[in-house]
Every structure is written in structure tokens, then in C-alpha cells.
């Protein structure tokens, strides 16, 4: 089932999400909904707070090439174990900030630990777009958006645009 994605500003996007106690059918079903929502958007990642659930769950699939085999990942309680000193700049987007993009600098490589759908511990080192995306999604679990890395003026400008967009979307519903 596709879920609706919260648009910034929303207080739920600023909260720190709670750890997931264990994997369960309910959480696997939520992860499936999030993957469906992410692919439909389309996007390469999604965090549970973006669909209004304040739990530490993210999904991602950064395989973008037409015809390539998808690699959907579901991560419960993801945690960055180590980050490279080398940094990378990527023009990020966010499904909670439609049509807003900005360059963000982050560690180029990160090693992440998480619990998979079956409750097993996993560890992997990511680079390139995968590294950028997994850090962006983990930030969502800590109530942080990519605009929080920007200068205050740019952040305010984007926030104003989003307030206007939300007002317009609310009017469309009437």
C-alpha cells in the first residue's frame, strides 16, 4: 500500500525516531509499503518519519540504470560505525522537499550496521550515491533534513517555498 509523504515543514520531520525492538510482520509490511511509496515517487530512499512513523527504519535502492537489477535494502536501527575523511559533494533532493535541490558535502564512504528484515545484523561499507543516500536517510531518523546543512538564508527561502506549496496543495483538496 502506497503511503503519503509528509512535506516540510512538519513537526514529525524534526523529531528523533525511536529504535525498533525487533523485526516483525508489522514492520516488514511497513517496509514493503515504504519501498512501494519510494519507487512510485520516484525516489532512491525513504525514512519512516517521512510517512509519519517515528521509528528507526529506512529503505533505499540506488540502482538507477534502466534494466539493471534493483537492490532494495531495508534497514532497521541503522548506525554509522565509521566515516571516511575523504568527502564528497552531491546535489541532494528529498521527497519531503519536492523539487528542491542543493549541494551537500558528506563523508565519501561510510560503514553502516543495521538489522535486516529477518532480524539479522548486517554491516556494509557504502560509497558513491549509496553513501550519500544512506547518510541522508539516517539523518531523517535524527530529525535532520538536507537543508539543515545549508546557509540560514537559503534554508529559509526553501522553507518559505514549501509553506506556499503546502498551502496550494491544501486548497486543491477543498
Q: What amino acid positions are annotated as catalytic residues? A: 137
- The cell numbers describing 83, all together, are 566515516
How far apart CA 144 and CA 74 sit, in angstroms, is 20
Chain residues binding Zn ion by CB under 5 A are 94
In angstroms, give the least distance from the CB of 163 to ligand K1U.
18
Between 89 and 163, name the residue whose CB sits nearer to ligand K1U.
89
CB of 146 to Zn ion, least distance (A): 7
d(CA 57, CA 32): 11
Q: Least distance (Å) from ligand K1U to the CB of residue 174?
A: 27
**Phi then psi dihedrals of residue 39, to 5 deg:** -65, -35
Residue in the structure block whose three cell numbers are 540504470: 65
* Contacted by 43, from ligand K1U, Zn ion, none: CB < 5 to 8 Å by type: ligand K1U
Confirm if 23 and 96 have CB atoms less than 8 A apart: no
Q: CB-wise, 38 or 94, nearer to Zn ion?
A: 94
Our CB check for Zn ion shows the closer of 35 and 94 to be 94
Amino acid at each position: 500500500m502506497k503511503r503519503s509523504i509528509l512535506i516540510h515543514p512538519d513537526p514529525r520531520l524534526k523529531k528523533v525516531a525511536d529504535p525498533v525492538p525487533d523485526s516483525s510482520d508489522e514492520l516488514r509490511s511497513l517496509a514493503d509499503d515504504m519501498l512501494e511509496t519510494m519507487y512510485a515517487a520516484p525516489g532512491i530512499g525513504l525514512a519512516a518519519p517521512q510517512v509519519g512513523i517515528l521509528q528507526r527504519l529506512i529503505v533505499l535502492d540506488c540502482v538507477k540504470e534502466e534494466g539493471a537489477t534493483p537492490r532494495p535494502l531495508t534497514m532497521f536501527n541503522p548506525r554509522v560505525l565509521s566515516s571516511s575523511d575523504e568527502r564528497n559533494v552531491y546535489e541532494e533532493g528529498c521527497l519531503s522537499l519536492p523539487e528542491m535541490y542543493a549541494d551537500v558535502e558528506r563523508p565519501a564512504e561510510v560503514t553502516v550496521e543495521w538489522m535486516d528484515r529477518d532480524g539479522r545484523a548486517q554491516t556494509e561499507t557504502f560509497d558513491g550515491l549509496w553513501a550519500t543516500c544512506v547518510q541522508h536517510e539516517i539523518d531523517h531518523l535524527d530529525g535532520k533534513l538536507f537543508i539543515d546543512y545549508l546557509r540560514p538564508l537559503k534554508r529559509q527561502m526553501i522553507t518559505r517555498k514549501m509553506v506556499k506549496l503546502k498551502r496550494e496543495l491544501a486548497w486543491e483538496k477543498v
